[in-house]
């Protein structure tokens, strides 16, 4: 696409504009290259206008921005836009030729359950015969089913990477795509320009208040997905849903807790190896089997089935799809279970509600003691959940271990003290504090006996561990497996 055509796509009326070929668009000066358009965004710490000389040397052909600072002259053609982030997304979509228009895109948002619901929906659509891609926090997949990861500098994909991946899906022959839509992605226009066929709402609880300020602001950003979708799948069990009704072109409701809804579950049976339940739906009543741990996954399954049905899946396809689902890396991922080993599970639960759900679920299928390892993020992340995490862990587990989890620039001792305070004031169990996460995992698995359950919570599939002055590569599953390999029944037990 040439620059004049891109300007026209952004509804910019400019005269005497040069017309070089545009290769791509970026807002990061380090990523700029020959033929790129650079979007100068004024952020909290940096102003992109300070890097115009740098991007010119890199070969950029033009700049988009909300206006040059006083006294600054751009060395490149400067196109003024009302909103730089919106322009980044719109330019990315135009340069990729709006790939989502050639796909049936399902977006999933909510505080907890996004990843599991997204993976379930992807799996169910594939079981229904649709070639389906996936963009999630765990990674992304083309229709070939191979999990891929964005390069390290794309840990949180920006609009150009989202649009480029959607174009890659179209080129690979995909019929549909499932995207996790986080509040950050919606607030920062990373998924602006995506044509949403279906929006799935899981539920809302306190999270990311360092960024949004209030729960109300958090809800406002997440609501954008429902507002932009042609059809919404809404959780009737979530009190926020009443404020989402009527926003999308059409809607379907679901309930795992007995509320009146289009899709509902009853006769739920939970075993060591999975769930069975009866489904009442617009497709009729049927019995479903889901090989996942956690009663809360019934709600995720209902959401995924309702979304897949909206795209044409039949009851028979949904039944077969659920039965063949093998879970999500780092989401209630079972590493070991048997007469001769403790049951060890890795899960991403990192908020008080999600941790409570995970522990309550595991309690019902644990013949022995229930152990949990948990930390809390530092930096500017919401510090108000640290004490509640300690309270939940100590109250619901027989023994809790408090450890590090991306402390960043917050002293780890401060985080751990808050978790300990929550455990002392509201917990009923005992706890141990071991700052080093690898040492903590080795200790907790070493203390468990056969018949016990050990939940390693908070990190899930994340591949880094952030400390004050370093970021380490991290693999929670590998660390846990090493501890299991060294496991033996503790002396005297």
Binding positions:
110-116, 155-156, 182, 190
Residue whose tokens read 């999308």: 248
29 — phi, psi (to 5°)?
-60, -30
Apex CA 296: angle with CA 292 and CA 301, to 5°? 65
Q: Which residues neighbour 110 within 8 Å (Cβ) at sequence distance 6 or greater? A: 117, 200, 201, 202, 203, 204, 222, 235, 238
Annotated binding site for ATP: 110-116
Q: How would you label 355-379 residue by residue, b for 16+ Cβ within 10 Å and e otherwise?
A: bbbbbebbeebbeebbbbbbbbbbe
Query: Please, are residues 354 and 385 in contact by the beta-carbon 8 Å criterion?
Result: no
Task: Count other C-beta atoms under 10 Å from residue 165's C-beta.
Answer: 23
Q: Rounded CA gap, 387 and 416, in Å?
A: 9
**Closest to 363 measured CA to CA, from 301, 444, 272, 427:** 272
Is residue 353 within 8 Å of 205, Cβ to Cβ? Answer: yes
Cα distances (angstroms) measured from residue 471 to each of 291, 374, 406, 463: 35, 19, 9, 10
> Shortest CA distance to 446 belongs to which of 466, 432, 461, 463?
432
Give the span between the Cα atoms of 334 and 327, in whole angstroms.
9
Question: Are the CB atoms for 428 and 359 separated by under 8 Å?
Answer: no
Q: Do 92 and 108 contact (CB within 8 A), yes or no? A: no
User: Quick count: other Cβ atoms within 10 Å of Cβ 16?
Assistant: 5
In sequence order, the β-bridge partners of residue 242 are none
Which residue is listed with tokens 């999500």?
328
Does residue 98 come out as left (phi exceeding 0), alpha (psi in the -120 to 50 range) or beta? left
Nearest by Cα to 391 from 362, 348, 352:
352
């Amino acid at each position: 696409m040439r620059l004049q055509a891109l300007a026209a796509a952004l509804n910019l009326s400019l005269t005497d504009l040069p017309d070089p070929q545009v290769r791509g668009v970026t807002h990061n000066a380090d990523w700029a290259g020959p033929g790129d358009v650079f979007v100068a965004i004024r952020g909290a710490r940096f102003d992109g206008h300070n890097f115009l000389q740098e991007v010119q040397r890199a070969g950029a052909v033009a700049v988009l921005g909300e206006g040059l600072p006083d006294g600054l002259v751009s060395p490149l053609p400067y196109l003024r836009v009302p909103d730089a982030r919106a322009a980044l997304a719109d330019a990315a979509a135009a340069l990729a030729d709006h790939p989502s228009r050639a796909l049936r895109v399902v977006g999933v948002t909510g505080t907890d359950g996004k990843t599991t619901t997204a993976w379930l929906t992807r799996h169910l659509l594939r079981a229904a015969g649709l070639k389906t891609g996936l963009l999630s926090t765990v990674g992304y997949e083309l229709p070939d089913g191979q999990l891929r990861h964005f390069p390290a500098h794309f840990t949180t994909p920006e609009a150009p990477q989202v649009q480029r991946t959607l174009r890659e899906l179209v080129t690979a022959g995909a019929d549909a795509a499932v995207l996790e839509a986080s509040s950050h992605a919606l607030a920062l226009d990373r998924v602006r320009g995506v044509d949403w066929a279906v929006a799935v709402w899981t539920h809302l609880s306190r999270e990311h208040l360092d960024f949004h300020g209030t729960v109300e602001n958090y809800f406002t950003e997440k609501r954008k997905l429902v507002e932009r979708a042609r059809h919404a799948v809404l959780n009737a069990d979530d009190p926020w849903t009443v404020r989402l009704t009527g926003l999308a072109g059409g809607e379907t409701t679901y309930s795992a807790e007995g509320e009146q809804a289009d899709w509902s579950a009853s006769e739920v049976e939970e075993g060591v190896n999975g769930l069975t339940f009866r489904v009442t739906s617009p497709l009729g009543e049927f019995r479903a089997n889901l090989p996942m741990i956690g009663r809360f996954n019934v709600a995720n399954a209902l959401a995924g089935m309702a979304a897949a049905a909206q795209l044409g899946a039949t009851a028979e396809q949904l039944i077969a799809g659920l039965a063949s689902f093998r879970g999500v890396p780092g989401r209630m991922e079972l590493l070991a279970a048997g007469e001769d080993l403790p049951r060890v599970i890795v899960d991403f639960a990192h908020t008080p509600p999600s941790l409570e759900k995970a522990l309550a679920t595991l309690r019902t299928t644990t013949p022995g003691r229930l152990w949990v390892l948990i930390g809390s993020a530092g930096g500017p992340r919401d510090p108000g959940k640290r004490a509640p995490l300690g309270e939940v862990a100590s109250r619901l587990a027989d023994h809790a271990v408090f450890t590090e989890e991306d402390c960043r620039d917050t002293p780890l001792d401060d985080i751990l003290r808050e978790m300990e305070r929550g455990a002392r004031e509201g917990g009923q169990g005992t706890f141990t504090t071991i700052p080093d996460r690898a040492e903590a995992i080795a200790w907790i698995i070493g203390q468990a006996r056969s018949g016990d359950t050990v939940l390693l919570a908070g990190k899930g599939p994340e591949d880094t561990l952030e400390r004050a002055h370093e970021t380490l590569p991290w693999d929670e599953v590998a660390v846990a497996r090493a501890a299991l390999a060294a496991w033996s029944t503790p002396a005297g037990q």
